[in-house]
Structures are given as C-alpha cells and as structure tokens.
Amino acid sequence: MSIKVLLVDNHAIIREGLRSLLEKQPEIEVIADTDDGRKAIELVRELLPNIVIMDITMPGLNGIEATRQITAEFTDVKVIALSIHSKRRFVADMLSAGATGYILKECLFDELVQAIKAVAAGGRYLSPRITDVVVSDYVKRLSASDVSPFEALKTREREVLQLVAEGKSTKQIALELHVSTKTIEANRRQIMEKLNIHNVAELTKYAVREGLTTLET
C-alpha cells in the first residue's frame, strides 16, 4: 500500500517540484496540494492522507496552527514540517503542535523521502541540523509556571490574531471564519487583554515575532 501524501506550501514552484519528484517514488502517492493552511485541514478531512508535508509561513492560517488542528482531530495523520526556519522556537512550536518530523528546505530530496518513510512507519525524523539537543534545551527552559501570554490564547484567538496582523478588516475576518463581526470584535478585545497590547501595529509585530505570519506574506 502506498503512502498517501498531502503537500502544503506557500510557493507553487516548491509544491510542483516536490510533487514531480515524489510521484516517481513507487511507495508514495501525492493525493493533493495546497498553499493554504485552512484548505489543508479541509483536504485532510476529505482525503485522509497518511502524511502531510507542512510549510510554516502561510497566509490565512499558518502551518503551526494548521498542524495543531489536524493532529488534534486526526491522530492517524502525521505531519512533517518542511521549512526554511531552523531556530529552535519554530521547531519546538511545530513539535508541540503535533508534528512528528521537521526537515529544512535546504535538504536533499532523498532526505524528504527518508523522513516520509520514517514517519509513516511510526517514527520521528529531524534534519541533522535540527538536533535533539536544541529541542531539549528549549523544552527544559519551559515550566508549568512559566506560561507565555501567547500560550494562553485559544485556537480561534490565534487565528484572529494572524488575520488582524495580515491587515484583514473585522468584516473580512468574520466572513473568512464564518462568524459575526461582534464575535471578532470580542476576540480582538480578549487578545489585546491577554497580550496587554492595545493597537494593531503592536499586534502585528507580536504576530511576526511568534511566527504566526510574516510581513513578506
């Protein structure tokens, strides 16, 4: 039985290149691809892939939050991060969100195939540069009494924070998330209270620092 793979990446050229290479692997079947985290969740529900190859920085819903929602809803679906980010914060956030693999976009294609096979077999895979020492060092510095304000945000509040930072209006966010504008206004007030940030410019800077979005997106 082939390994069913869903490709999620912000750049079409990367998706097309990966699809072309992966389709040459007899054990791997690319069943779909998308550039949108929210669409990725819909595709997982529809197609039930074995593996999701997930970029981190994407508009609308970033890869960390998409991974968190996918792994919470589908315990049998495994996520492998494929990212340019090698900083331990991004690695820790993806692994905490439920990813079982993390490789860098600079890696050779053979490493991606190796990661897919390892994760499909029930294991984990990290690129050589993403070492256990780095992750362990980050995790050890966390404690139950040292919860950041960001961790106190609910899933919907994180989504709203990202969309606000990307310049979406209250009405646009409400339409995208299928809720009322009053709900979004309430979410934004709660976000500002929890983060102790009281203007959109500072919220945008905070979202960029946390890896939810990028000013280049």
CATH assignment at residue 201: 1.10.10.10
The pair of structure tokens assigned to 184 is: 């979004």
Clarify whether residues 13 and 75 are in a common domain. Answer: yes
214, part of any domain: no
Confidence of residue 212 (pLDDT cuts 50, 70, 90): confident
Using CB atoms within 10 Å of the CB of residue 167, give its burial: 0 to 12 exposed, 13 to 18 middle, 19+ buried: exposed
**CA-CA distance, 27 to 204, in Å (whole number)?**
43
Clarify whether residues 109 and 10 are in a common domain. Answer: yes
Whether 42 and 66 have beta carbons less than 8 Å apart is answered as no
217, part of any domain: no
What sign results for the dihedral spanned by CA atoms 59, 173, 169, 205?
Answer: negative
Clarify whether residues 83 and 183 are in a common domain. Answer: no
The tally of domains found in the chain comes to 2
216, part of any domain: no
Predicted TM-score of the model (pTM): 0.73
Show Cβ contacts of residue 194 under 8 Å, excluding neighbours closer than 6 positions. Answer: 149, 152, 153, 157
Query: In the listed set 99, 114, 140, which residue is the last one of a domain according to the structure?
Result: 140
Taking only the tens place, the pLDDT of each residue in 47-86 is 999 999 999 988 889 999 999 999 999 999 999 999 888 8
Clarify whether residues 130 and 193 are in a common domain. Answer: no
**What's the whole-number mean pLDDT along residues 111-135?**
86
Clarify whether residues 191 and 109 are in a common domain. Answer: no
Whether 217 has a pLDDT exceeding 50, the answer reads: no
Clarify whether residues 55 and 81 are in a common domain. Answer: yes
69, part of any domain: yes
Q: According to the model, what pLDDT value does residue 139 have?
A: 65
Clarify whether residues 71 and 133 are in a common domain. Answer: yes
Clarify whether residues 56 and 110 are in a common domain. Answer: yes
Q: Domain range spanning residue 46?
A: 3-140
Taking only the tens place, the pLDDT of each residue in 146-181 is 566 777 788 899 999 999 989 899 999 999 999 999
